[in-house]
Amino acid sequence: MSGVLKAACIQVNAGTEILPNLQAAGDLVRRARDAGADFIALPENVSMIVQGRAKVLERVKPADEHPAIPFFADLARETGVWLLAGTLGVLLDDGRVANRSYLFDAEGRAVAHYDKLHMFDVDLKGGESYRESATFRPGDRAVLAATPWGGVGMTVCYDLRFAYLYRALAQAGASILTVPAAFTVPTGRAHWHTLLRARAIETGCFVLAPAQTGTHDQGRLTYGHSLIVAPWGEVLADAEEAVGFVLAELDMARVEEARRMVPALTHDRTFTLERVGF
């Protein structure tokens, strides 16, 4: 890992139709590039947010027909940035959908993709309930991508609660972790900042967490607060609740500095678990 880059997190309020969402995201990417960004990250479900399995399946496309993939490839090439295309709903052969994150290099090549591992199947207070596994097929591999600034570990939203994934990515060579998200408001208020700072501190990585914000299809609310977090845990940028983007300079030397001070990634111990009194 080397150098200093300017990273941006884009914050959007995605609607139900793909093409208007792409246009809105593209405009923000161009603005972020004009502000000096070298690496730009977009949120989960950047091409659409709809509620219900039937509505998702009406709109998603297989990878070779998905309009967002060539759109973001062309956008990366046009702007000359490395672009994380949040996640897209990609129709699979078995009729389910991958919640898939794509990373494009500055020439518009899709250098890596990652399918969200952990499905958001939860029941919150007030009757707010989600069953991501009813529509989406979980991935089965972690992904670490090489960039000019070091390894990028790709994750998505609910993955944030599974610390072992981030530790594995950091130990494999990640210096930047990406967490495109569409966090709910209750879980965002309670956990978003804390979990993102924890993942940065535990791994000594920069964390880029672009997020959805506002009111979506059928009144679904997302939390916003796209964050950029430093390896020592400081929040370098917070987008609050507005559509837009935030920028921060990432000095990659800070990764090794944090890991020298607290080399926890090298302190793993094997152990047995003793259950007493059960």
Q: Which residues are catalytic?
A: 44, 116, 157
Residues 222, 240: contact at Cβ < 8 Å? no
Residue whose tokens read 């926890």: 264
CA angle 21, 183, 30 (to 5 degrees): 35
The phi-psi region of residue 60 (left if phi > 0; otherwise alpha if psi is between -120 and 50; otherwise beta) is: beta
